[in-house]
Amino acid sequence: MQKLTRSDLWSLEQYAEQRPAFRAEVLAHKKPRQVSLGPHATLYFEDRLTIQYQIQEMLRVERVFEAAGINDELDAYNPLIPDGTNWKATFMIEYSDVEERRQALARLAGVEHRVWAQAGDLERVFAIANEDMERSTEEKTAAVHFLRFELPQDVIAALKGGAALTFGIDYNGFEQRTAVSAESRSALVADLD
């Protein structure tokens, strides 16, 4: 998937005009790219469009219009665009109650390294977590992690051939397994070159 450049972005004025329609397009696009892993964990899969939206929103909020600032945002967010042999996702551990969340994050230290994808009955592919910086300690994990699922060629071939797609978490006391819907599967397979 091609990385974004400054020429792919609207100016602040152009974005103000385009934002309502673009936002609606992106929100609809994101729906099948979200995979729930039980009641407290979700994967949000990124692609070129979701990252373009994120950059446009950052530029808007921060009122960035100079080339250097725009390039800084591109440098920060372009690594989250999949490369054709992988998926990149934001993994969120979500508890609405603050105390329950604090206890869960302490109990789940290292859970981000136990998130997996599986095509059909092939071997599970475990995500590579937080390549930019460590987000967990021995005492607790963070509520947000960035994951990369680097997919072997046999997995890509199986998915393109119609194999079922499952995501899960293999962590003691927090095991999860989710069969992906046809719509989500199609959206994610489209990310693979």
**91 and 70 both lie in a single domain:** no
Residue 26 lies in a domain: yes
**76 and 116 both lie in a single domain:** no
**Band of the pLDDT at 111, cuts 50, 70, 90?**
very high
**54 and 103 both lie in a single domain:** no
The SS3 assignment for 34 reads strand
Residues in CB range of 159: below 8 A, 6 or more apart = 119, 151, 165, 185, 188, 189, 192
Q: Which amino acid is at 16?
A: A
Alpha-carbon distance of 193 to 190, in angstroms, equals 8
- What number is the average pLDDT over the span 14-29? 98
Domain containing residue 127 = 86-189
Return the H-helix or E-strand segment holding 116.
strand 115-119
Residue 147 lies in a domain: yes
The SS3 assignment for 65 reads coil
**pLDDT digit string (tens) for 27-80?**
999 999 999 999 999 999 999 999 999 999 999 999 999 999 999 999 999 999
Q: What is the dihedral of CA 127, 129, 132, 133, to 10 degrees?
A: -170
Residue 70 lies in a domain: yes
Number of domains making up the chain? 2
Higher-scoring residue by pLDDT: 148, 173: 148
* pTM beyond cutoff 0.85: yes
Alpha-carbon distance of 79 to 94, in angstroms, equals 24
Tell whether the model's pLDDT for residue 133 goes beyond 70.
Answer: no
**Band of the pLDDT at 132, cuts 50, 70, 90?**
confident
